[in-house]
Homo-oligomer: A and B are copies of this chain.
Amino acid sequence: MSLSEFEIIDRYFTPLGQWQGLHTVLGPGDDCAVLSPPMGHQLCVSSDTFIEGVHFPVGAEGALVARRTLAAAVSDLAAMGSEPLAVTGALTLVVALPDWLASFSNALSGLITDWQLPLVGGNISRGRELSLTWTVIGSVPTGAYVTRSGASAGEDIYVSGWPGRAGLALSKILSGQQPAANLAKHYLAPEPRLLLGQHLRGLASAMIDVSDGVLADLLHLLDSSALGACLNAQAMAFDELLQSTAESPGAALKHFLTAGDDYELCFMAPATARAEIERLSLKLSLPLTRIGVTKAEPGVAFENLPEAVTESALIKAAGYRHFS
């Protein structure tokens, strides 16, 4: 490693700090960044750590690491209905490889402008494994944030986008196949649903982002509102690309419900919101699929399961990820 911490910052990160949003008073380079959030807004804050070999593949190129990890972090803002305000990044490197750093920095440069999330600070350390921690800060009109709790029995359960595509693409990559571009992009460059989240303020009664798979995160959501659900497997079979690429309807459903590599939003809304949610789906060109209804009794029941798929196998596959 021939580059000093200061050289790495100067070459790969200082240029990124030059683009700042309307709400940055003082960007990177001092003891703190200074932000001036919009009047009448509250702040949303979340920190996430990503480690090579745990959260992204060993040897992944810089651009992939930037795209997938920042999407995962920003997705937490989307799930609150928040607008982006700023991000800090803490990067721990084992070696300072100029190609990797350039790839990471170039991708990051595009993402922070695409997502309007200025990089206001961070630091570079040297360690024994590659990891990074993003802290995302957003703002939301006072009181308008959407939590994981707040849903009632008899509400519709929705999921955005095309859950399962990223996981299916990854499983193909891991088995040495080349997934089609329209499948691969969901793994290579996931899109956090910032706009959707903002539009769902006042419509969704409860919301979460899908980081551990639709079913696992839906279970979190149901727990938070002390509800159960009846889910319709047929409604989850709308994605022709997933259906035609997966080995069977059962495999497609398993990817849809348990793959953890999409950053879609899962939310509840009362039936009175259906027309507005349909309009929103058209406006954003994004499927918002009604996959079931909440019920007062705890537990999850499935209707219309494809052959050879059991409820208990799905629940088991969605099992909370353990630390060891």
Contacts and interface: CB of A to CB of B under 8 A. Distances in A.
A36 B145 CA distance: 12
Interface string A223-249: 000000000000000000000000000
A49 B123 contact: yes
B49 A79 contact: no
A46 B142 contact: no
A47 B80 contact: no
Nearest to A128: B129
Interface string A21-44: 000011001111111110000111
Contact of A4 (B80, B96, B124, B323): B323
A1 interface: yes
**Total copies of this chain within the assembly:** 2
A302 interface: no
Nearest to A86: B45
Contacts of A36: 42-43, 142
Contacts of A34: 42-45, 80, 140, 145
Given A5-B323, A320-B4, A324-B4, A32 B51 contact: no
A89 interface: yes
A133 B29 CA distance: 18
A4 B31 CA distance: 36
Contacts of A5: 321-323
Interface in A134-180: 135-138, 140, 142, 145, 147-148
A306 interface: no
Interface residues of A, number: 70
Contact of A135 (B35, B88, B124): B88
A126 interface: yes
Nearest to A208: B31
Contact of A324 (B3, B88, B321): B3
Contacts of A35: 42-45
Given A32-B79, A43-B43, A128 B128 contact: yes
A54 interface: yes
B80 A49 contact: no
A125 interface: yes
7 contacts: A7-B323, A29-B148, A32-B77, A34-B140, A45-B120, A51-B127, A54-B127
Given A3-B324, A36-B43, A55-B125, 14 more contacts: A5-B322, A6-B320, A25-B145, A29-B148, A32-B145, A33-B46, A35-B42, A49-B92, A49-B125, A49-B133, A96-B324, A124-B323, A128-B129, A129-B129
